[in-house]
Amino acid sequence: MVLQKNPKFYNHALPDSIDLPVFPIGRMFKGSKGKYGNGTAVIFNNHRISFKELYTESLKLANALYELGYGKGDVITVYLPNSIQFVISYYGIILSGATYSPIDPLMPVSEVVSQIKDNGTVAVIAHESCVKNLVDHADELLLRNVIVTGDVELDGFDVFIDLSQFSSNYFGFNDLKIRFEAKQLNLLIDPQKNSTYLSYTGGTTGGQKSVLSKHYNYVSSCIVSGASRGMLPYIIDSDGVTVKPLTMQMNSSRNNYASPKQQLP
């Protein structure tokens, strides 16, 4: 990819072009865990989770989904509000090899049902406040599993939601994860062929329309975004990838001077 050089804003420490690497999202995620470790990855209300914890919990969920029989070609819908569980679900689904598709809990139930039926969702990770919508349409949706979480599980990964009123194909989010180790799955992912994200429009001008993205699409987007801030990918080890900052060298054609070099954060 050739980088466009704006004479005023271009970081001249960057090369004229960069090669877009071909690897699955999991390698970049592992690289972030290796680089930032105990640094804070997510803040939600008064709760924090580190990169290491996020990677560990996501791998546990990935192993749980894999053991339930989910993987490449399967769409798993995330029916959650913004939360730590949402981020774990996103990475857990991707690390299992399955395809992630989100649904806004504020969407009308008719649109929720339509989206799930349209993409052939096989399982849903849902907030407890949304579960009734799935139960009421169970005969229509034909879901294999529903994984339920709630606000109580924000208090820790060893706090469990009560699912005694549900059938055996319903699992608690934390209760399911705690049964599995955070081991890396030996999956053969082709970043340019295997899908990772199925997103939908809001349906403003008609029915909802979907776009299917591959691992390569998202990694490329991250690399291009990082390059615009003076950061390029580099390999940590055989599995991990992260980015490193370059020295910023910005020129101003208007004022005809070069700004002092400064290190990007």
Going from N- to C-terminal start, the domains of the chain cover 25-263
Question: What φ, ψ does residue 77 adopt, rounded to 5°?
Answer: -90, 140
Residue 114's identity, in one-letter code, is S
Helix (H, G, I), strand (E, B) or coil at 40: strand
Percentage of the residues of the chain whose pLDDT score is greater than 70: 79
The pLDDT, as a whole number, for residue 237 is 55
CA distance 241 to 53: 18
Quick check: 199 pLDDT over 50?
Answer: yes
Kindly state the DSSP code that residue 12 receives in the 8-state scheme. Answer: T
Pick from 1, 7, 18: nearest CA to 230: 18
pLDDT band at 167 (very low <50, low <70, confident <90, very high): confident
**50 near 38, Cβ under 8 Å?**
yes
The pLDDT, as a whole number, for residue 112 is 95
- Residue 223 gets the label, from left (phi > 0), alpha (psi -120 to 50) or beta, of alpha
**86 near 78, Cβ under 8 Å?**
yes
pLDDT band at 174 (very low <50, low <70, confident <90, very high): very high
Pick from 121, 140, 135: nearest CA to 70: 121
**127 near 93, Cβ under 8 Å?**
no
Quick check: 249 pLDDT over 60?
Answer: no
The pLDDT, as a whole number, for residue 189 is 92
pLDDT higher at 263 or 157: 157
The pLDDT, as a whole number, for residue 258 is 33
Pick from 119, 44, 42, 110: nearest CA to 78: 119
Worst-scoring range by mean pLDDT, 47-61, 134-148, 155-169, 246-260?
246-260
pLDDT higher at 14 or 193: 193
Instruction: Summarize pLDDT for 66-92 with one digit per residue, the tens.
Output: 999 999 999 999 999 999 999 999 999
pLDDT higher at 135 or 5: 135
CA distance 226 to 174: 33
pLDDT higher at 60 or 257: 60
The pLDDT, as a whole number, for residue 56 is 96
Quick one: tokens of 124? Answer: 């849903």
CATH class of residue range 25-263:
alpha beta
Quick check: 32 pLDDT over 50?
Answer: yes
What is the pLDDT averaged over residues 3-29? 70
pTM (2 d.p.): 0.83
pLDDT band at 241 (very low <50, low <70, confident <90, very high): low
Instruction: Summarize pLDDT for 205-229 with one digit per residue, the tens.
Output: 777 788 899 999 988 888 777 776 6
The pLDDT, as a whole number, for residue 20 is 77
Pick from 208, 193, 226: nearest CA to 72: 193
Q: Which residues contact 149 (CB under 8 A, 6 or more apart)?
A: 80, 83, 85, 125, 126, 127, 128, 161, 172, 173, 174
